[in-house]
Amino acid sequence: MGEAMGMIESDRTHSIADIAYACGYTDHSAFSRQFKSHTGMTPVQYRSHCHPK
């Protein structure tokens, strides 16, 4: 999960699905559920938190 968090923090060009696949997940929804369980927010929410507009 740390690798995915780092990728979300540093890379705004790749989709969350691309990041999930790069981290070894084949199911985007399973990645999102596990990410939320770990961080308390969805990957999209986490990206918005790291890169406010």
- pLDDT tens digits for 20-52? 999 999 999 999 999 999 999 999 999 999 988
Q: Which residues contact 14 (CB under 8 A, 6 or more apart)?
A: 7, 22
Could you give the 3-state DSSP secondary structure of residue 53? coil
Q: Model confidence at 6, in pLDDT bands (50, 70, 90)? A: very high
At 52 the pLDDT is 83
At 38 the pLDDT is 96
At 48 the pLDDT is 94
Closest CA to 23 of 43, 41, 40, 37: 43
At 51 the pLDDT is 85
